[in-house]
Copies of this chain bind each other. A is one copy, B any other.
Protein backbone atom coordinates (compact mmCIF):
# COMPACT_ATOMS: atom_id res chain seq x y z
CA UNK A 1 0.00 0.00 0.00
CA UNK A 2 3.05 2.19 0.25
CA UNK A 3 3.53 4.42 -2.77
CA UNK A 4 0.40 3.37 -4.58
CA UNK A 5 1.63 5.34 -7.53
CA UNK A 6 4.97 7.05 -7.76
CA UNK A 7 5.90 9.93 -10.02
CA UNK A 8 2.44 11.10 -10.86
CA UNK A 9 3.18 14.74 -11.50
CA UNK A 10 1.35 15.89 -14.59
CA UNK A 11 2.27 19.31 -15.93
CA UNK A 12 0.58 22.19 -14.22
CA UNK A 13 -1.50 24.46 -16.38
CA UNK A 14 0.31 27.64 -17.13
CA UNK A 15 -1.59 30.25 -19.01
CA UNK A 16 -4.21 28.77 -21.27
CA UNK A 17 -6.93 30.56 -19.43
CA UNK A 18 -8.41 33.90 -20.22
CA UNK A 19 -8.80 36.57 -17.63
CA UNK A 20 -11.95 38.58 -17.77
CA UNK A 21 -15.67 38.53 -17.77
CA UNK A 22 -17.15 35.10 -17.89
CA UNK A 23 -20.28 34.63 -19.89
CA UNK A 24 -21.60 31.17 -20.13
CA UNK A 25 -25.05 30.37 -21.35
CA UNK A 26 -24.80 26.64 -20.78
CA UNK A 27 -24.80 27.19 -17.04
CA UNK A 28 -27.03 29.35 -14.85
CA UNK A 29 -24.92 32.45 -14.80
CA UNK A 30 -24.46 34.04 -11.39
CA UNK A 31 -25.07 37.73 -11.17
CA UNK A 32 -21.43 38.31 -10.34
CA UNK A 33 -19.29 37.62 -13.34
CA UNK A 34 -15.90 38.66 -12.07
CA UNK A 35 -14.38 35.29 -12.67
CA UNK A 36 -11.38 33.89 -14.43
CA UNK A 37 -12.41 31.44 -17.08
CA UNK A 38 -10.11 28.43 -17.33
CA UNK A 39 -10.00 26.01 -20.20
CA UNK A 40 -7.83 23.03 -19.43
CA UNK A 41 -6.87 19.88 -21.23
CA UNK A 42 -6.92 16.38 -19.89
CA UNK A 43 -4.70 15.47 -16.99
CA UNK A 44 -3.71 18.91 -15.89
CA UNK A 45 -3.39 19.78 -12.26
CA UNK A 46 -5.31 22.79 -11.04
CA UNK A 47 -4.05 22.95 -7.48
CA UNK A 48 -1.74 20.83 -5.36
CA UNK A 49 -2.42 19.82 -1.79
CA UNK A 50 -0.91 22.55 0.37
CA UNK A 51 -0.96 25.21 -2.32
CA UNK A 52 -2.12 28.58 -1.22
CA UNK A 53 -5.53 29.17 -2.73
CA UNK A 54 -7.49 32.32 -2.99
CA UNK A 55 -10.04 30.94 -5.42
CA UNK A 56 -13.15 28.89 -5.41
CA UNK A 57 -13.72 26.88 -8.57
CA UNK A 58 -16.92 26.10 -10.36
CA UNK A 59 -16.70 23.31 -12.90
CA UNK A 60 -18.68 24.08 -16.03
CA UNK A 61 -17.76 21.17 -18.19
CA UNK A 62 -15.50 18.13 -18.02
CA UNK A 63 -14.40 16.19 -14.98
CA UNK A 64 -12.06 16.84 -12.08
CA UNK A 65 -10.77 14.63 -9.30
CA UNK A 66 -9.76 15.71 -5.83
CA UNK A 67 -7.14 13.67 -4.04
CA UNK A 68 -5.11 13.60 -0.87
CA UNK A 69 -1.78 12.01 0.01
CA UNK A 70 -0.49 10.57 3.25
CA UNK A 71 3.17 11.31 4.05
CA UNK A 72 4.14 7.73 3.16
CA UNK A 73 2.58 7.99 -0.27
CA UNK A 74 -0.79 6.35 0.21
CA UNK A 75 -3.32 8.16 -1.90
CA UNK A 76 -7.05 8.59 -1.66
CA UNK A 77 -9.14 10.18 -4.37
CA UNK A 78 -11.75 11.85 -2.22
CA UNK A 79 -14.14 13.20 -4.79
CA UNK A 80 -14.99 12.99 -8.46
CA UNK A 81 -16.54 16.15 -9.82
CA UNK A 82 -18.73 16.82 -12.81
CA UNK A 83 -20.34 19.88 -14.36
CA UNK A 84 -21.82 22.18 -11.73
CA UNK A 85 -19.66 20.97 -8.89
CA UNK A 86 -17.53 23.32 -6.84
CA UNK A 87 -14.20 22.98 -5.04
CA UNK A 88 -11.32 24.98 -3.63
CA UNK A 89 -12.57 25.40 -0.08
CA UNK A 90 -10.43 24.94 2.95
CA UNK A 91 -10.37 25.70 6.61
CA UNK A 92 -6.98 27.28 6.18
CA UNK A 93 -5.44 29.35 3.41
CA UNK A 94 -3.95 26.21 1.91
CA UNK A 95 -5.77 23.63 -0.13
CA UNK A 96 -6.49 20.37 1.65
CA UNK A 97 -6.61 18.48 -1.63
CA UNK A 98 -5.06 18.31 -5.06
CA UNK A 99 -7.29 18.88 -8.05
CA UNK A 100 -6.63 17.43 -11.48
CA UNK A 101 -8.69 17.29 -14.64
CA UNK A 102 -9.71 13.87 -15.90
CA UNK A 103 -10.76 15.18 -19.27
CA UNK A 104 -10.74 18.55 -20.98
CA UNK A 105 -12.55 20.97 -18.71
CA UNK A 106 -13.83 24.49 -18.55
CA UNK A 107 -14.16 26.17 -15.21
CA UNK A 108 -14.66 29.45 -13.46
CA UNK A 109 -12.35 30.64 -10.70
CA UNK A 110 -13.83 33.15 -8.31
CA UNK A 111 -11.78 35.09 -5.85
CA UNK A 112 -12.79 34.22 -2.32
CA UNK A 113 -13.53 37.80 -1.50
CA UNK A 114 -15.75 38.02 -4.55
CA UNK A 115 -17.68 35.05 -3.24
CA UNK A 116 -17.89 36.49 0.25
CA UNK A 117 -19.41 39.64 -1.20
CA UNK A 118 -21.96 38.01 -3.44
CA UNK A 119 -25.16 36.52 -2.09
CA UNK A 120 -26.08 35.06 -5.47
CA UNK A 121 -22.79 33.28 -5.70
CA UNK A 122 -23.03 31.97 -2.19
CA UNK A 123 -26.51 30.64 -2.80
CA UNK A 124 -25.30 28.83 -5.89
CA UNK A 125 -22.32 27.41 -4.07
CA UNK A 126 -24.26 26.42 -0.96
CA UNK A 127 -26.79 24.63 -3.11
CA UNK A 128 -24.06 22.66 -4.80
CA UNK A 129 -22.07 21.96 -1.67
CA UNK A 130 -25.04 20.36 -0.01
CA UNK A 131 -25.35 17.98 -2.95
CA UNK A 132 -21.65 17.17 -2.69
CA UNK A 133 -22.02 16.64 1.04
CA UNK A 134 -24.62 13.96 0.31
CA UNK A 135 -22.31 12.43 -2.26
CA UNK A 136 -19.56 12.23 0.33
CA UNK A 137 -21.92 10.63 2.81
CA UNK A 138 -22.68 7.99 0.25
CA UNK A 139 -19.02 7.52 -0.45
CA UNK A 140 -18.27 7.09 3.25
CA UNK A 141 -20.82 4.29 3.27
CA UNK A 142 -19.05 2.71 0.33
CA UNK A 143 -15.59 3.01 1.82
CA UNK A 144 -16.58 1.88 5.27
CA UNK A 145 -19.00 -0.91 4.59
CA UNK A 146 -19.07 -2.22 1.04
CA UNK A 147 -17.23 -5.20 -0.45
CA UNK A 148 -14.83 -4.85 -3.35
CA UNK A 149 -17.33 -5.95 -5.99
CA UNK A 150 -20.03 -3.74 -4.53
CA UNK A 151 -17.66 -0.80 -4.67
CA UNK A 152 -16.81 -1.36 -8.31
CA UNK A 153 -20.46 -1.88 -9.23
CA UNK A 154 -21.40 1.31 -7.38
CA UNK A 155 -18.61 3.16 -9.13
CA UNK A 156 -19.79 2.03 -12.55
CA UNK A 157 -23.37 2.98 -11.75
CA UNK A 158 -22.15 6.44 -10.82
CA UNK A 159 -20.65 6.72 -14.28
CA UNK A 160 -23.98 6.16 -15.98
CA UNK A 161 -25.07 9.55 -17.27
CA UNK A 162 -28.39 10.90 -16.00
CA UNK A 163 -28.65 8.09 -13.49
CA UNK A 164 -26.01 9.12 -10.99
CA UNK A 165 -25.94 5.81 -9.23
CA UNK A 166 -29.66 6.06 -8.65
CA UNK A 167 -31.70 3.01 -9.43
CA UNK A 168 -32.34 0.88 -12.41
CA UNK A 169 -35.48 1.08 -14.52
CA UNK A 170 -36.96 -1.44 -12.09
CA UNK A 171 -36.45 -5.14 -11.52
CA UNK A 172 -37.93 -7.39 -14.13
CA UNK A 173 -37.69 -4.63 -16.66
CA UNK A 174 -36.11 -5.55 -19.93
CA UNK A 175 -32.38 -5.45 -19.41
CA UNK A 176 -31.00 -2.20 -20.71
CA UNK A 177 -27.49 -1.53 -21.85
CA UNK A 178 -25.38 1.57 -21.49
CA UNK A 179 -21.95 2.42 -22.77
CA UNK A 180 -20.00 4.35 -20.19
CA UNK A 181 -16.74 6.24 -20.49
CA UNK A 182 -14.26 5.54 -17.69
CA UNK A 183 -11.67 8.30 -17.74
CA UNK A 184 -9.69 6.75 -14.86
CA UNK A 185 -6.94 4.17 -14.82
CA UNK A 186 -7.36 1.08 -12.67
CA UNK A 187 -4.97 2.59 -10.15
CA UNK A 188 -7.11 5.70 -9.90
CA UNK A 189 -10.30 3.73 -9.54
CA UNK A 190 -8.55 1.80 -6.77
CA UNK A 191 -7.49 5.01 -5.05
CA UNK A 192 -11.05 6.25 -5.27
CA UNK A 193 -12.60 3.05 -3.94
CA UNK A 194 -10.05 2.35 -1.23
CA UNK A 195 -8.77 -0.82 -2.94
CA UNK A 196 -5.69 -1.94 -4.85
CA UNK A 197 -5.52 -1.95 -8.59
CA UNK A 198 -5.36 -5.75 -8.64
CA UNK A 199 -8.58 -6.04 -6.67
CA UNK A 200 -10.29 -3.57 -8.99
CA UNK A 201 -9.08 -5.53 -11.99
CA UNK A 202 -10.38 -8.76 -10.50
CA UNK A 203 -13.76 -7.19 -9.80
CA UNK A 204 -14.00 -5.99 -13.40
CA UNK A 205 -13.06 -9.45 -14.64
CA UNK A 206 -15.64 -11.06 -12.39
CA UNK A 207 -18.42 -8.76 -13.57
CA UNK A 208 -17.34 -9.40 -17.15
CA UNK A 209 -17.40 -13.16 -16.63
CA UNK A 210 -20.88 -12.84 -15.17
CA UNK A 211 -22.02 -11.06 -18.28
CA UNK A 212 -22.80 -7.78 -16.56
CA UNK A 213 -20.01 -6.01 -18.38
CA UNK A 214 -18.61 -6.17 -21.90
CA UNK A 215 -15.47 -4.38 -22.90
CA UNK A 216 -12.39 -4.40 -25.07
CA UNK A 217 -10.88 -0.99 -24.49
CA UNK A 218 -10.32 -0.38 -20.79
CA UNK A 219 -11.76 3.09 -20.77
CA UNK A 220 -15.06 2.29 -22.41
CA UNK A 221 -17.26 -0.26 -20.74
CA UNK A 222 -20.62 -1.54 -21.88
CA UNK A 223 -22.91 -2.28 -18.98
CA UNK A 224 -24.89 -5.17 -20.41
CA UNK A 225 -27.55 -5.22 -17.72
CA UNK A 226 -27.87 -2.01 -15.78
CA UNK A 227 -30.54 -3.44 -13.54
CA UNK A 228 -28.51 -6.42 -12.45
CA UNK A 229 -25.36 -4.37 -11.95
CA UNK A 230 -27.36 -1.96 -9.85
CA UNK A 231 -28.44 -4.85 -7.64
CA UNK A 232 -24.85 -5.79 -6.94
CA UNK A 233 -24.04 -2.38 -5.54
CA UNK A 234 -25.39 -3.36 -2.12
CA UNK A 235 -27.65 -0.32 -2.09
CA UNK A 236 -30.76 -2.02 -3.46
Q: Which of B89, B122, B130, B140 contacts A76 (CB 8 A)?
A: B140
Which of B72, B116, B130, B235 contacts A234 (CB under 8 A)?
Answer: B72
Question: Across the interface, which residues of B come within 8 angstroms of A125, CB to CB?
Answer: 126
A235 x B70 contact (CB < 8 A): yes
B-side contacts of A75, CB under 8 Å = 145
A136-153 CB contact bits vs B (8 Å, 1 = yes)? 111111011110000000
| Chain B minimum-CB-distance residue to A134 | B96
Structural contact, B144 and A76, CB atoms closer than 8 A: yes
B137 touches A66 (CB 8 A): yes
Evaluate contact between B137 and A96: CB separation under 8 angstroms. yes
Q: Which residue of B lies closest to A150 (CB)?
A: B70
The reply to whether the CB of A132 lies closer than 8 angstroms to some CB of chain B is yes
Q: Give chain A's interface residue range (CB within 8 Å of chain B).
A: 35 or more
Residue on B with the closest CB to A120?
B119
User: How far apart sit A168 and B60, CA to CA, in the bound complex (Å)?
Assistant: 40
Residues of B within 8 A of A230 (CB): none
| Contact (Cβ within 8 A) A193 B137 | no
Q: How far apart are A230's CB and chain B's nearest CB, in angstroms?
A: 13
User: Residue A177 at the B interface, CB < 8 A?
Assistant: no
Is A68 engaged at the interface, CB distance under 8 Å to the other chain? Answer: yes
Q: Given the complex of chains A and B, what is the CA–CA distance between A126 and B125 in angstroms?
A: 7
15 contacts between A and B (CB under 8 A): A68-B138, A70-B146, A71-B234, A79-B140, A89-B130, A96-B137, A96-B138, A119-B122, A122-B126, A129-B129, A133-B133, A136-B136, A144-B191, A144-B194, A145-B194
A residues in contact (CB < 8 Å) with B? 1, 66, 68, 70-72, 74-76, 78-79, 89-91, 96-97, 116, 119, 122-123, 125-126, 129-134, 136-141, 143-146, 191, 193-194, 234-236
